[in-house]
A and B are shown apart, each in its own frame.
Chain A
């Protein structure tokens, strides 16, 4: 199993550009989530999904969209990039629909917005 994969690993955007961060898992996990990690702060939840077709907002959803058309994929879209979105982004998944279970993280995407 590849586990949780994320692409790209690094990305540089200009203010106002849009892009999609890809996340995929091959463990048939129902729960998937996106976090951002900023210096001096804990991981913060952007959006999450408890199954295909179901998404919900986390702590810091503004400026981001998600969709979950399949169990495997959970892309994160930046609509109009801003310097405040410079961060490291992690996708995670877990078995079942709740966060009781072991969390599996992707390797992260380091995004810089100029």
Chain B
């Protein structure tokens, strides 16, 4: 079993829908990252969380340390949100452990 599990693996939505992507982890963590990988392959950082909730534009990330779970929400989804969303956790070392990603496609 992977230490970081994401669900769903694939997600299809209509433009305007509310999207939720989940990340569960089995190790103790000190930080959790959400990343976006564009269809062209580039990876950008969206959020780093250690507790609570963060919001940036239409993106919201939450984390529940006790339940070892984080969610990434996209409000009013748009075709340009189509990408792979990756969760990564930092345990007790300097190394990040990555999930396999959630592939999101948003259709007009």
Instruction: Count A/B pairs, Cβ under 8 Å.
Output: 62
Q: Does B59 sit within 8 A of A, measured CB to CB? A: no
- Given A40-B100, A42-B86, A43-B88, A102:B45 Cβ within 8 A: yes
B90 with A99: CB separation less than 8 A: yes
Residues of chain A whose beta carbon lies under 8 Å from any beta carbon of chain B: 31, 33, 35, 40-45, 48, 50, 56, 58-59, 88, 90, 92, 97-105, 107-108
Q: Which residues of B contact A90 (CB under 8 A)?
A: 43
Residues of chain B whose beta carbon lies under 8 Å from any beta carbon of chain A: 2, 4, 30-31, 33, 35, 41-45, 48, 50, 86, 88, 90, 94-101
Q: How far is the CA of A102 from the CA of B46 in the complex (A)?
A: 8
What is the CB-to-nearest-CB distance from B106 to chain A, in angstroms, rounded to a whole number?
Answer: 23
The 3 closest A-B CB pairs, nearest first, are A42-B98, A105-B43, A43-B98
User: Closest residue of chain A to B93, judged by CB?
Assistant: A99
Q: How far is the CA of A50 from the CA of B94 in the complex (A)?
A: 9
